[in-house]
Structure 1
Amino acid sequence: MSAEVHDTRTCEVSLVEARAEVERILSDPRFHATERQRAILRYLAERRFSGREEGAKAYSIALDVLGRASNFDASNDPIVRIEVSRLRSSVENFYQAFGAERHVTIHIPKGTYVTLFLRSRVPYEHDEEDVALPDNAPVDPAAEGRAAVSPSGRPLMIHAGMALLLCAAIAACVVIYASKPTLTVRPSVGLSMDAVDARMQGEASQTRDMLLTALTQFQTLTVEKAGYAGVRAQKAAGRAYEIDMKYYGDGDARSVWWQIVDRQSGDLLKSGLETISIDGKSPAAVRQEIADVLARRFAATRGAINNIETHANSVEAIGNACVLRAEYQLDDGGSDNMAAVRSCLERTLAAYPNYSDADALLARVLIAPEGAAGDATVRARALDLANRAVSIAPMSDRAYVALMMTQFADGRVDAALQAGNRAISINPNNPDAVAKLSSVLFSAGYFDAGVAMAQDAARAVDIVPRDAMLVLALDAYRRGDWSEASLLAEQVNCTDFVVRALRVAALGQLGSDQAKERLADVRGRDPDFERTLRQKLEARGFQPVLSAEIEAGLAKAGAVFAFSDVTSAVSP
């Protein structure tokens, strides 16, 4: 379904009416809001009146209205989000209790710091109440052939025309919102965990609570609290799943058997068994490890539930389905479907402008193609989208991963590492975030730290994230373990130029007969690769010594470079 972009301002009132409504609500003693909330409302309204339709940033509100210092950090201080949320509730409660006297209502959409001034209902032109004539009223013969006149003296045909125009205006406003394509949302899940041995039910309950917290950190699922599954299932627009678990234990291990069931159909979708060795660990540490492993298994990008969601939705769907497809495409590393993914994200944002996940993924998609990071215009837009995602959702690891990748592409290594560490602090169990940070660390020359994080990203997942696999392959090559590098490079689930170059370089260092054949394939895909490789590796942030080592392996496979330092690259 294609998304048609509409201008919602056609449903908004005039500037004069909007200003009058702001003054009315602020002066009304029935409007229960604190002074700082009133100040925020006036601040947002004035920005709207001055033409800044994008609203305000949390940072601006903190400094301009709340008097915070210039080092204010919205990710650590939620004061703006809290105050705006309370203001939004006060405004909604006021209109619900007392209505809109001037047919104007103020709206502060969730997830934004912007005011909208919408017409609550269309007012009629006449001031007098229309009076219906009795059925037996005499007919004035002189009136025949003339336009009928209303009691107020206006021709009824004029009233009818006005009514039609007003109905058309109302219908236009309805169409603006009704024409938005259906938004797919995050799936909801209910959890249950019972101990096979009743004496271990306490352990099982504590493990379930830890798992609930870990799943909530992912923000890819809507996790239902105990006792609310039925209510949430009725309200949720997305799919709903039940995760049923059995807790087992013996002397030296703890195990959890699990199954995922489609709540609507009752179909069993997937099941598995996780076992954790005690090995002298504390009981709390064992329970936390089980929860972490299960959270990755269920809620990671390539986890069980998101894998089901990705393949269950139509390719025309926008929203969460689009975000998941983008994450899959980015992890695959190819460019075949990148244009379709980008279009899907653009359509999502056109229909739902404050969708932070779509902002974050579009930022990453923009800089993903070869050479895109070298375009200053592309980098600027990607950075703007990533910063917007963080502003809308300051507790989203997806938003901070996008900020990390866009900052690194822009050459801001320290800022990128700070954003990456923030993503990990928000959700330490997200293997995709860990893998992305490992890639940035390794490319920036922090080899040991990058490898350690890549190994962590590969823990307890069905499919190791592409970036983690690539870091491990590059590290094996850097250490001179050509066989391991070749094996790992072949396992990387993508075919971008770095992976292709690494595969040929490892074979070249091994003196394999396949090296020349692989080199010919690389040249066939990119005839200029020998001339542009160094530039591409630099654009990826690779350290010069690593780039030189890769070029040395390619030279042994038969590649010819114009750089004089290639042949002098030191091989272990």
Structure 2
Amino acid sequence: MDETLKGRPDRIKAYSIATSVFGRDETFDPQVDSIVRIVAGRMRRSLERYYLTGGKDDPLRIRIPKGSYVPVFEDAAMALEDPLHSHGGELQKPGKIGPSILVGPFIEEGDLASYPNLGRGLARSLVVGLARFTNLRVFGTEPLIERVPGPASGGADEVAVDYILSGGTTVGSDRFWADMLLVDARSGRTVWADSFERGLVPSEIFALRSEVANRVARTLAQPYGVIYSDRAQETEGSPPERLSSYDCVLYFYQYWRTFDQDIVDRVRDCLERTIRSEPHYSEAFACLSLVYSNIHRFGNGNRFADTDFRERAQALADRAVELAPSSSWGHYARSLAYWSSRDIRASLAAFETARALNPNDTAIAADLGQRYAMLAEWEKAVPLLEESFSRNPVQPGSYRLGLFFYHCAHGRFEEALREARKIGTPHMILGPMAIAVAAAHLGDHEEAVKAVGQMIALDASYGDHVVADLESRNLHPDLIRMAVDGLRKAGLQGRDTGFLAAESA
């Protein structure tokens, strides 16, 4: 507190607190010794209790924001509510966040006597499938059909939607056809269209209807799907400070595809601004939690050494779940926060909950498969990974890391190298590491050396702590040994690889 009052808040870091207050020596590592984080958490809770009880009338309040150790002094009457500590009953009414879509009506043709209301049933299945993506506001036509806004209409009572999904179904003696059309509700522009044809067995009509609805929901609504791509084009090139709350979430998805370190700070700031202006926006809390988990687990948080990103990620994920218990991404964020804290059982449970809430989200399925792959549980990992890429070939290539480990573990290094080349995350050290390992095991010295060079550019001392890094990611010991062996063959210098500069001279 004295340092803050004297204008030196930059000195308030985990290292300085540990050495000056708790008597730790110069070898103190906040990632190993959590004394500062634990005591700071206790102090935050004590301050909260005090201002709820004996200090409720104090005109000046002291707060230690999560993710920082620097105290903030606030006027009690003017202080902004911390979105992590607000309660559901105190939240402002949610505004319009995220795109909206109106489903139907569907024209029905063919054998209507044998299959009555097939189009209406398909529309209901589509509403259910789309509504599982909680960042999308979904309307059905049955209660709203008289209020659907047309291109030229503008009544005050109309439901304003961004997209309209319509089409038709045709039933023959043994075939089923469905045509789908997604249009921009304002301009009438066709955004997407597709046709589906299937064999028809009367006893399987409901399963067939669900299959088509789920496929359409995945294509349109999941991350990197049709709606994401269409919305992202509208904001491409816009500075982050001008982005809306939903646009900040789209900006997060841009980062999430490659973990680009050139934009991570801007994504983080954009989402921090969003949760303050929209404290009910569960998806924004979840995305921000994932950003902090990534900063911790990918080792790019060294420049923020005074901040405990695991604690911040956990608090944000918990808030996302509190705001929207049925949102899959809140539980997904919680799973990665647990994973970063090495609580594997809790992480996998949260992953499974997220997947159960939205089976159509291939990103969650792929990441869960990746976790099982890192634990060498291949019978669970491989089906999830293969199915996710089959359903969504354009999802982030980083999930192919699990398939890379799978092939390496079984000695299939050519297949492993093919998967490693598809990872496409040059900002994440595991991307070039995978190429270096597979190429080295195949004797491709040129490609292995090039990949090692990329690793060194990201972390010049990685060879000294590769084992600790892979252990922190919960990688199976057999996979760690395989990776270290490959890096040794690739020529990565360091204590952990046993290949030192003197040996390579």
TM-score by length of 2: 0.71
Structure 2 alignment gaps of length 5 or more: 1-49, 58-85, 150-155, 500-505
Match of 2:87 in 1: 112
Measure, in 2, the Cα distance between the counterparts of 1:565 and 1:279.
63
1:20-68 residue CA offsets vs partner (Å, 9 max, x unmatched): xxxxxxxxxxxxxxxxxxxxxxxxxx99677789xxxxxxxxxxxxxxx
The more displaced of 190-199 and 371-380 is 371-380
1:141-197 residue CA offsets vs partner (Å, 9 max, x unmatched): xxxxxxxxxxxxxxxxxxxxxxxxxxxxxxxxxxxx9xxxx9761111112233453
Q: CA deviation at 1:367?
A: 1.9
Q: Secondary structure at the match of 2:140?
A: coil
The more displaced of 340-349 and 190-199 is 190-199
**2:135 matched to 1:220?**
yes
Shift in alpha-carbon separation, 1:519–1:190, aligned structure 2, 3 A: same
Measure, in 2, the Cα distance between the counterparts of 1:279 and 1:500.
49
Shift in alpha-carbon separation, 1:334–1:292, aligned structure 2, 3 A: same
Contact in 1 for aligned 2:376/2:406 (Cα 8 Å): no
Match of 2:245 in 1: 319
Match of 1:499 among 431, 435, 456: 431
- Map 1:314-463; keep pairs closer than 5 Å: 314=238, 315=240, 316-369=242-295, 370-371=298-299, 377-463=308-394
Q: Secondary structure at the match of 2:312?
A: helix
Shift in alpha-carbon separation, 1:276–1:207, aligned structure 2, 3 A: same
Aligned identity (percent) is 22
Measure, in 2, the Cα distance between the counterparts of 1:425 and 1:462.
21
The aligned length equals 401
AA partner of residue 360 (structure 1): A
AA partner of residue 256 (structure 1): A
Match of 1:137 in 2: none
Match of 1:557 among 481, 490, 496: 490
1:73-120 residue CA offsets vs partner (Å, 9 max, x unmatched): xxxxxxxxxxxxxxxxxxxxxxxxxxxxxxxxxxxxxx933559xxxx
Shift in alpha-carbon separation, 1:556–1:362, aligned structure 2, 3 A: same
Q: CA deviation at 1:360?
A: 1.0
Q: CA deviation at 1:422?
A: 1.0
Measure, in 2, the Cα distance between the counterparts of 1:308 and 1:257.
20
Contact in 2 for aligned 1:450/1:471 (Cα 8 Å): yes
Structure 1 alignment gaps of length 5 or more: 1-45, 54-110, 117-176, 567-572
- Map 1:201-280; keep pairs closer than 5 Å: 202-227=117-142, 228=144, 231=147, 240-248=162-170, 254-276=176-198
Q: CA deviation at 1:388?
A: 1.1
Q: Secondary structure at the match of 2:326?
A: coil
TM-score by length of 1: 0.63
AA partner of residue 107 (structure 2): D
Q: Which has the larger radius of gyration?
A: 1
AA partner of residue 286 (structure 2): A
Measure, in 2, the Cα distance between the counterparts of 1:215 and 1:337.
30
Match of 1:301 among 199, 212, 223: 223
Q: CA deviation at 1:353?
A: 2.4
Q: CA deviation at 1:251?
A: 6.8
The more displaced of 358-367 and 535-544 is 535-544
Q: CA deviation at 1:441?
A: 2.1
Match of 1:291 in 2: 213
Measure, in 1, the Cα distance between the counterparts of 2:56 and 2:198.
55
AA partner of residue 359 (structure 1): F
Measure, in 1, the Cα distance between the counterparts of 2:401 and 2:190.
35
